[in-house]
């Protein structure tokens, strides 16, 4: 079959890297893609939410499967768009309906879902511009640090964790009345702070059955030792060493199963990936957030460990036959180091030439913010490319990634040198 991947980041390059090797994949298209996907598939310059143009492409190229990478088209209803259209109904779209995508599209919706299905999570309340004063009073009842989350999509940057009560009150007002995060912060969720170590669990569900993919730990802050501003992710390690069999059993019973069962009970159409952001408090898992797609850069560490044919796996999702699948995993650890443009996550340059990619051995390079200009690969985003390596443990894998990252060159390139410091 012909397959279309929607998106342009490292996650989408990883999907392409896996799908292009499948015996089920005839032609692979990526919209809009990047310089990395251009080398192995056909890039099509389309916006990820231009559903009419995507429909034209699907019909013109006889595409039978669409894999949606980022969250925005899912929240905007691409799955519903395909289902409602007679000419598109037969196409397998990997992702949830707009209703299911609200698990990521609205922090409040996700919290209410967690509470309804008795899934462990932090205590919380939601506030709007009309209830700023009540929100500030609620902060006074909590112990620091204070956690403020923009309700809507804010590209992974809408969460503030503050030690000072007055600062938290001021930021709450800034988010709600001055729209610090635009429409995303028209509503703000204030949560109790959970003290522990974070991890991500990835689930693939066909709406009835599910398989749990490998765990990963990502590093969100720009600075060493997890300091500075939040980013889209500076690197990832899979599997997470502290997630032993006993802890994974708890996650399965207390979080994964009730999540999939909850979607089914509420008749929410959900065929795709569920990213569950967890924190280990003592020896118990609590859910921090849901994402309704694979994470980035976790995909770059998780998917290379999956030995199964990805197109076949996703066909089972479309057919609701995931119970017939046995997951085949590489037992080694995979580590991804993300290189970013100088200045990211604030203002940064684009259009700088990247060299050295072709000199890398023993690692896989997944391109993210790149494009082709005059035949050269140049920077085109904040997170530029990811280098993934295998090892018998994360230290060994990291050593290989760091050795290879140093072969890549572009102006003001930056990467974190302390991944795994907390493991």
91, two tokens: 């196409």
Does position 156 have pLDDT exceeding 70, yes or no? no
Does position 161 have pLDDT exceeding 70, yes or no? yes
Average pLDDT over residues 351-372: 97
Cβ neighbors of 55 (< 8 A, separation 6 or more) are 81, 85, 87, 88
Spatial contact of 214 and 202, defined as CB atoms under 8 Å apart:
yes
Does position 188 have pLDDT exceeding 90, yes or no? no
Does position 217 have pLDDT exceeding 80, yes or no? yes
**262 by DSSP, 3-state: which?**
helix
Condensed to tens digits (0 to 9), the pLDDT of residues 242-262 reads 999 999 999 999 999 999 999
Does position 174 have pLDDT exceeding 90, yes or no? no
Name the band, by pLDDT with cuts 50, 70 and 90, for residue 333.
very high
What is the average pLDDT value for the chain, to the nearest integer? Answer: 94
Does position 185 have pLDDT exceeding 80, yes or no? no
| CA 328/CA 325 separation, integer angstroms | 9
Distance of CA 309 to the CA centre of its chain: 21
Does position 289 have pLDDT exceeding 90, yes or no? yes
Cβ neighbors of 209 (< 8 A, separation 6 or more) are 320, 321, 322, 323
pLDDT: which is higher, 309 or 187: 309
Least confident of 44-58, 71-85, 163-177: 163-177
Name the band, by pLDDT with cuts 50, 70 and 90, for residue 331.
very high
9, two tokens: 């980041």
Give the pLDDT score at 182. Answer: 74
Average pLDDT over residues 131-144: 88
High-pLDDT (> 90) share of the chain, %: 82
Give the pLDDT score at 252. Answer: 97
Give the pLDDT score at 98. Answer: 97
Distance of CA 114 to the CA centre of its chain: 19
Does position 238 have pLDDT exceeding 90, yes or no? yes
Name the band, by pLDDT with cuts 50, 70 and 90, for residue 363.
very high
Cβ neighbors of 52 (< 8 A, separation 6 or more) are none
| CA 70/CA 67 separation, integer angstroms | 10
Name the band, by pLDDT with cuts 50, 70 and 90, for residue 157.
low
Spatial contact of 127 and 135, defined as CB atoms under 8 Å apart:
yes
| pTM greater than 0.85 | yes
**223 by DSSP, 3-state: which?**
strand
Spatial contact of 30 and 61, defined as CB atoms under 8 Å apart:
no
Instruction: List % helix, strand, coil for the chain (3-state, nearest 5).
Output: 35, 30, 35
High-pLDDT (> 70) share of the chain, %: 99
First CA to last CA distance, the chain: 42
**32 by DSSP, 3-state: which?**
strand
Condensed to tens digits (0 to 9), the pLDDT of residues 9-56 reads 999 999 999 999 999 999 999 999 999 999 999 999 999 999 999 999
């Amino acid at each position: 079959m012909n397959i279309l991947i929607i998106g342009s980041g490292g996650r989408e390059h990883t999907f392409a890297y896996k799908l292009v090797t499948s015996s089920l994949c005839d032609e692979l298209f990526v919209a809009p893609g990047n310089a990395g996907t251009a080398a192995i598939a056909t890039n099509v310059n389309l916006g990820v939410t231009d559903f009419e143009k995507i429909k034209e492409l699907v019909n013109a190229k006889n595409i039978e499967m669409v894999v949606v990478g980022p969250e925005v088209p899912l929240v905007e209803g691409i799955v519903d768009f395909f289902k409602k259209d007679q000419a598109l109904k037969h196409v397998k779209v990997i992702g949830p309906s707009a209703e299911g995508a609200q698990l990521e599209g609205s922090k409040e919706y996700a919290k209410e879902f967690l509470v309804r299905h008795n899934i462990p999570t932090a205590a919380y309340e939601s506030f709007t511009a009309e209830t700023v004063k009540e929100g500030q009073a609620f902060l006074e009842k909590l112990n620091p640090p204070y956690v403020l989350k923009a309700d809507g999509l804010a590209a992974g940057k809408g969460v503030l964790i503050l030690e000072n009560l007055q600062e938290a009150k001021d930021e709450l007002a800034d988010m709600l009345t001055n729209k610090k995060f635009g429409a995303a912060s028209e509503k703000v969720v204030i949560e109790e702070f959970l003290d522990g170590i974070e991890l991500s669990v990835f689930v693939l569900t066909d709406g009835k059955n599910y398989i749990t993919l490998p765990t990963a730990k990502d590093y969100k802050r720009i600075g060493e030792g997890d300091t500075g501003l939040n980013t889209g992710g500076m690197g990832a390690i899979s599997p997470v060493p502290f997630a032993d069999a006993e802890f994974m059993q708890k996650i399965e019973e207390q979080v994964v199963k009730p999540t999939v069962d909850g979607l089914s009970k509420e008749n929410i159409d959900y065929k795709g990936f569920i990213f569950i952001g967890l924190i280990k408090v003592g020896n118990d898992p609590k859910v921090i957030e849901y994402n309704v797609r694979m994470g980035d850069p976790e995909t770059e560490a998780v998917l290379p460990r999956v030995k199964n044919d990805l197109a076949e796996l996703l066909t089972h999702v479309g057919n609701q036959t995931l119970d017939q699948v046995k997951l085949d995993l590489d037992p080694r650890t995979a580590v991804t180091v993300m290189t970013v443009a100088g200045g990211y996550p604030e203002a940064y340059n684009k259009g700088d030439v990247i060299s050295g990619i072709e000199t890398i051995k023993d690692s896989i390079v997944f391109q993210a913010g790149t494009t082709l200009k005059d035949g050269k690969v140049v920077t085109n985003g904040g997170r530029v490319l990811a280098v993934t390596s295998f090892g018998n443990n994360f230290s060994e894998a990291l050593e290989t990634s760091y050795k290879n990252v140093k072969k890549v060159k572009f102006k003001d390139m930056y990467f974190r040198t302390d991944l795994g410091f907390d493991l």
